[in-house]
Amino acid sequence: MVPSFAPFTNIIKLSVDIGRSIISGHDAFPEMVLELLYDFSRHWSFMMLTLNSDSTRVSLDLVGDDQTNGNRNPYLNLLQLTNEHSFLQQIIIAVSASHMCNLSRSWLGPNSYEREEAPKKLLMDALVAKQKGLQMMPDALRNIDTIGADVILATVLFLINSELIESGWQSWRPHLEGAKKLLNMIEPYTGSDTTLRDYIVADCYVYCTLSLSFNPSQPGTQAASFAPSQVKATLSRTNNSFFCCPPEVLDILRETAQLLHAEAQGNVSSNEALIEFTNLLDRVQRLDVLKWAKDRMPDASKAALWSSARTGSAHRLATCLYIIQAAPALRARMPDQVPKTLIQDLYETLLPQPDEDPNFKATGWPTFIYGTTATTPESRAWVMDRLKAVAQINPWGFLYSAIDTLQILWKHENGDDGCMNWLQKLKDLNVDFLMV
């Protein structure tokens, strides 16, 4: 018997209603949208050529390298299913249109952090396709046994990605909650190939962890797939993940965010929290990233091993700084040289990594953390240039939102020593977004 999907379909209905309200300002669909839909129905081969072109580009953003140890990118397999599942087709079209929209928006100048206006046609293409896909999802959920849970899970993941490509602001949250509900509702996967679901679970776990790091709060639905023992095994099987971060670092980051929330709610005392923050900092500092990189890619070339170790080290150092920034009581009890050394180490870890490195796109979050410590015009300019370079390779909206957010934080900085409690500042300013 298929479990009730009412909570999930309610989330979908909310998203559809929002999309309908946006479009309702028009007496009719713009001619360009009608032409697009006409082309989709009359010229399937042309549509698939366009869809495959940019969707393949998007799928490359979701893994570290398209070919690792001969393994095919699991997300590319989804393109073969778009003819069979219209809801998946429409969501991938929406993701691709948003992606193309970002690619087409050039910076106004080499020193500018503003971009050209978005092409209206691509924006409408993305909106119409997303709404059509959302309208189809309730029926897909009712037929999950026939369609297959992994296809629907992948569609929900692409809904999250659609929002992250657009901006990274709050609209991804309902879809992430829906994904966790769906993971709890379906039976454990017993097929011979678990690759696709492993990557879906891994990506959702990364998104959940980083969402908590930006907004320590009640984590919402607890997915059984995120239990420490299960998620560790899953992450070990997804060593080509786009984020290129040691699982232990993600664990510590998640525990830190949960501790921040528990302290804010009065569930732990300040002294208890201080002890736990100290332990978390000690754990992440002692992590052997080189061993993780070697275990992750045992047959890797020297260059690939260097890339993984450097990127993993950047995440480790950024997490050290995150803990110090988020826990002022801990910062007050340590020598000034400790955070200064961490800041310099993070900069020196990021600096030599070339933008052609396949893991360069995974350094957005460490770069943002370093940006929260930047106090000079030169260091801030370097941060902005690096984020622009990452966005050039990986044109997802959360990177542009990160640029905007850092400018807000810098505007409101008040003589911090590079360890501002930016989490509190964002909360005070009612700024809420996610970057990965």
Strand partners, 72: 67
What is the CB-side half-sphere exposure of residue 236 using CA atoms within 13 A?
9
Mean per-residue pLDDT, 338-359: 96
Selected residue with higher pLDDT from 142 and 31: 142
pLDDT computed for residue 53 by the predictor: 52
| Tokens linked to 43 | 């010229």
Place of tokens 């709890």: 184
| pLDDT, the chain, mean | 82
pLDDT tens string 358-399: 999 999 999 999 999 999 999 999 999 999 999 999 999 999
pLDDT tens string 203-247: 989 999 998 888 877 666 677 788 877 888 888 888 777 889 999
pLDDT tens string 70-125: 456 777 777 778 889 999 999 999 998 998 899 889 888 888 888 999 889 889 99
**How many CB atoms sit inside 10 A of residue 7's CB?**
13
pLDDT computed for residue 112 by the predictor: 87
H helix count then E strand count, the chain: 20, 2
Tell me how long the chain is. Answer: 436
Strand 71-72 and strand 67-68: the pairing is: antiparallel
In angstroms, the Cα distances linking 25 to 28, 33, 130 are 9, 15, 17
pLDDT tens string 180-210: 888 887 766 555 457 888 888 889 899 999 9
Q: What percent of the chain has pLDDT over 90?
A: 47
Question: Quick one: which of 144, 124, 225, 212 has its CA closest to 173?
Answer: 212
Give the confidence band of 278 by pLDDT, cuts at 50, 70, 90.
very high
| Tokens linked to 407 | 């400018």
